[in-house]
Amino acid sequence: MAETSKTSATKAAKSNSALPGVDFDNLRVGMCKFPLGGIDDTPDRFCGEPAVEGSPYCSECAKKAYSRPERRR
């Protein structure tokens, strides 16, 4: 019998209270305001990483925001 020790270690990571990012109430000045879950959606969660000075976004999201494909011509 060596089966007792391998459960319960892998299932601690996921729960609804551990969603990525922060909601609007927890968004502060200096935190990244990049909306999670799609730019076209009404954002209710934001990145929340420390923003780059002079930017509303952190460095990761700034890349996403400014490399967004533009579809006008």
Q: Are 34 and 11 in contact (CB under 8 A)?
A: no
Task: Check residue 34 for interaction with Zn ion (CB under 5 A).
Answer: yes
Q: Is the distance from CB of 46 to CB of 36 less than 8 angstroms?
A: yes
Instruction: Choose which of 27, 43, 49, 52 interacts with Zn ion (CB under 5 A).
Output: 49
CB distance 26 to 48 below 8 Å: yes
Please report whether residue 36 would count as binding Zn ion according to CB under 5 A: no
Residue from 21, 32, 35, 36 binding Zn ion (CB under 5 A): 32
What residue ranges bind Zn ion (CB under 5 A)? 32, 34, 47, 49, 58, 61
